[in-house]
Amino acid sequence: MMAELSMCSSTSSSELTPEEERIMIRDIALAAEANTKEGETFYLITQRWWQHWIQYVNQEQTNNAYDGSSFSENYDLTNSSALKRPSGIDNSDLIYDGMSEDSGAGVEIHDTLLEGRDYVLLPQEVWKQLFTWYGGGPTLARKAICSGLSQTELAVEVYPLRLQLLVMPKGDRSTIRISKKETIGQLHKKACEIFDLQSDQVCIWDYYGRRKHALMNDLDKTLDDANIQMDQDILVEVLNNVNSTSSAQDNGSAQREANSALVEPSKSSLSIAGGLSASKGTSKSYNMELSSSQNLTSPIRDVDNTFGTSGVSTRGSSGGLTGLLNLGNTCFMNSAIQCLVHTPEFARYFREDYHQEINWQNPLGMVGELALAFGELLRKLWAPGRTPIAPRPFKAKLARFAPQFSGHNQHDSQELLAFLLDGLHEDLNRVKHKPYIKSRDADGRPDEEVADEYWANHIARNDSIIVDVCQGQYKSTLVCPVCNKVSVTFDPFMYLSLPLQSTTTRTMTVTVFTCDGTALPSAFTVTVPKQGRCRDLIQALSNACSLKHTERLLLVEIRNHLIQRFLEDPLISLSTVKDDDHLAAYKIPKTNKKTKYLQLIHRRREQNSESQTISGWKPYGTPMVSLISCDDAVTRGDIQVMVYRMLSPLLRKGSNCSDTNSGEACGGTISSNSLNKDGTDSKASIPKLPLQLVDDTNGCIDLSMGEEKVVKPSTSSPTVLVYVDWSQKLLEKYDTQPLENLPEVLKYGPVTKKARSEPLSLYTCLEAFLREEPLVPEDMWYCPQCKERRQASKKLDLWRLPEVLVIHLKRFSYSRSMKHKLETFVNFPIHDFDLTNYIANKNNSRRQLYELYALTNHYGSMGSGHYTAHIKLIEENRWFNFDDSHISPISEDEVNTAAAYVLFYRRVKTNDATVSNGA
């Protein structure tokens, strides 16, 4: 097989047909797939060129693109039309402008490339064959490495480590690319070759954060195992220099380290470490050595002069101002990460040695991988240097453990934040074996005793930095509405989700129909209790539409022009009705007779605008409902009369369906014996309407032709279905527009000026969260005294507050078919957020003051929104806007906007340790 491949590879592409090229590459790919192993070389090729070649050789389906599946799945198409042969391979869109294989700096690819979108990975033999045929380049080779927990999964290392080598005391620098699977010994050897040093004269240090973090003397250890990060510094220390003879541990190294802190690159358009381009703002890095004139060796040089006066410096200033590249709708992730990274307690914890606290065996965790990925990312973001970081490894871990966040769709930043806090807690849980603890009911014991017991039980099973910093406790009180049994529990919380509507009422719009032909349908908007029931809505509608004492309302939900469900049970919770649902109510007479509902479903033919063809009958508009007797036989004429009466308000002005023309349109006439409201025999002739009745077997009986015949409705179904088919001629007589525009229960429109001018206080939102209200029917409580599920009332109270209080503003309301965003402006305090009076534990007399230090923002709608973060660097006492990779200073006045979504508060250390309960 390989011999055949070798012979074929010498064949010029110009001598081959597209089909022959396809077959040859397919065979090479199959052979390569079968022999892939660690260390194999793969090559990047631009998706644009690859797509062109795929279409060229698979001309029957030109839209077929490589999607990341096995190569053999992409080569089984046939030709159908001639496409132009691709020109030479052009990978220029994968690399930075002006870079080539001939440049001394090597070739650097863009930091934000995605496989399948920007490039395809080809096995070495496939690349060689294509390169032989087409030429071009540049060549972008990458190695396959083992990855995953078991180190048995093969992955191509598209982005090897980029490290800054710094030689001391001389001060020379060089930026290199090296695989994280290379050993410390190989890095040592490479450093000696680059700087022309003797290996026995050199020791290398993990110089993370420009501090000697660890001596790298285990030469067989991989860089991955040594926790070396992308874009970090490696200190190359020459031991026998002319000034002193020192070892890695002598006191002289401290002086050299002090000197090295002054070794900074001069400010230019390009950062040696891979900073921002002044012209394009894109991340670049270069494999180059500085000339001796650029080396700063004088310890007395003025540090401030090394940075210039404009732009953001890459080194020598406080950390924490590093952006995150957007990998495709990852702003939701970037904003949440920046807030967590800039939580001082987390920044301190993850920059120190937290590995000893990783819980590798926790079945509820991620085997420590989430904590490691987050810690690695945090260290990068706090390292000196302002080059935006591509959080690709972290996103890969996230997608592995939380597939809902995979891909490149927009997600909810708060949902991600909740997952991260919970996942980090489980990965870092200091409790290795959780004891089983059965909670006891309060049974009249003092709240303080019960609360402390619950918290001790919680800490016995959950003890981590997340619990230390973010977890609080609230008191939950349930009261049974039947036996008045009171149940008190004290539960932990990680964040508070506060509602933005402070009101306890809800407006709902419902369209009311008559069945006796007396009026057109009319929409009514009424106010009902937010946690009310259908009986509350029916009562409000009855008052609004002036319902007679001889009538009642039948409430239904309409979906896809059909009745989805009858809301006849008066105890159905209104919470089951979403804002984008459509409701209708029908006025029907009160009666003691046995009746069924006659549902009149409207249908019409739809015309395809492109083909001008007519499709079949399809439902449209809103169904109408009337009552039909179950006691007596119902004739075709009876149903015709009932439907004619229901539709009579829709008759167009001047139209009379009993005239000659309408007789043709309506299908003839019948004599009515039941049309008059007073019950007298009118003997009037009315048209036959094109009606179809659905019988017991789901067949249709035509009610508009043939002799009158007795129709017996099925006794097994509470409804009788009748279709009315609206032809164009019939629509000339009737105006069905009032049936077509059924409003939503709550129609959202643009935010009104009134809404903008009336901000909602954060305190008001908190009070709404703590207000007592009944449980929804789907979440009823099992009363231990009644031994039944009851709709208890629930009351929450804050009992114990955390050091960092995370508050989620519930801007998004969810329904079956949509998510809606509330643009309400919330007036939240930046300083002195005082929660003292909201603490139910009156024995805790310490004043509860908080200060805002970070928040996420959401701009725009759900489908096309964008997330940013406002963060205060506490040491600088200055606010910044973090917009993915772009960071800019802002004033404190710019922090509070209507886009605020998740707020991060820190406890203020106050001198006044105690306050009165009324303070």
State the pLDDT at residue 656: 60
State the pLDDT at residue 748: 57
Q: Please, are residues 71 and 36 in contact by the beta-carbon 8 Å criterion?
A: no
State the pLDDT at residue 662: 41
State the pLDDT at residue 276: 23
Q: Pick 909 or 603 by higher pLDDT.
A: 603
Tens of pLDDT, residue by residue over 39-55, are: 888 999 998 899 888 88
Single-letter code of the amino acid located at 31: A
Using H for helix, E for strand and C for coil, what is the string for 834-854? ECHHHECCCCCCCCCEEEEEE
Query: Which 3 state secondary structure label does DSSP give 103?
Result: coil
Distance CA 132, CA 125 (A): 10
pLDDT at 827 over 50: yes
Query: What is the side-by-side order of every strand in the sheet holding 551-559?
Result: 522-529, 505-514, 582-589, 551-559, 562-566
Single-letter code of the amino acid located at 844: N
Can you say whether residue 756 is alpha, beta or left, with left for phi > 0 and alpha for psi between -120 and 50 degrees? Answer: alpha
pLDDT at 752 over 60: no
Q: Which residue has the tokens 């040696």?
A: 272
Distance CA 25, CA 66 (A): 14
CB-CB neighbours of 443 under 10 Å: 8
pLDDT at 513 over 50: yes
Distance CA 576, CA 556 (A): 13
Domains of the chain as residue ranges with CATH? 18-57+88-96+106-157 (3.30.2230.10), 161-238 (3.10.20.90), 505-606+617-650+688-740 (3.10.20.90)
Residue count of the chain: 919
Least confident of 76-80, 602-606, 842-846: 76-80
Overall average pLDDT of the 522-527 stretch:
89
Distant-in-sequence, close-in-space partners of 818: CB < 8 Å, separation ≥ 6 = 580, 862
Question: Residue 758: which pLDDT band, with cuts at 50, 70 and 90?
Answer: low
Segment of 264-268, 331-335, 841-845 carrying the highest mean pLDDT: 331-335
Least confident of 28-42, 663-677, 701-715, 857-871: 663-677
DSSP bridge pairs for 624: 600
Mean confidence (pLDDT) of the chain: 76
- 496-499/233-238 β-pairing: unpaired
Question: Residue 423: which pLDDT band, with cuts at 50, 70 and 90?
Answer: very high
CB-CB neighbours of 111 under 10 Å: 22
Tens of pLDDT, residue by residue over 356-411, are: 999 998 889 888 999 999 999 999 999 876 778 889 889 888 888 888 887 777 88
Q: Please, are residues 284 and 270 in contact by the beta-carbon 8 Å criterion?
A: yes
State the pLDDT at residue 809: 94
Angle of helix 331-341 relative to helix 413-427, nearest 10 degrees, comes to: 50
Distant-in-sequence, close-in-space partners of 659: CB < 8 Å, separation ≥ 6 = none
Can you say whether residue 367 is alpha, beta or left, with left for phi > 0 and alpha for psi between -120 and 50 degrees? Answer: left
State the pLDDT at residue 275: 25
Using H for helix, E for strand and C for coil, what is the string for 249-295? CCCHHHHHHHHHCCCCCCCCCCCCCCCECCCCCCECCCCCECCHHHC
Counting residues of the chain whose pLDDT is more than 70, the rounded percentage is 75
pLDDT at 13 over 60: no
The DSSP call for residue 38 is T
For the chain, first and last CA: distance in Å? 87
Distance CA 811, CA 319 (A): 32
Query: Which 3 state secondary structure label does DSSP give 675?
Result: coil
Overall average pLDDT of the 154-172 stretch:
84
Active site residues: 331, 866
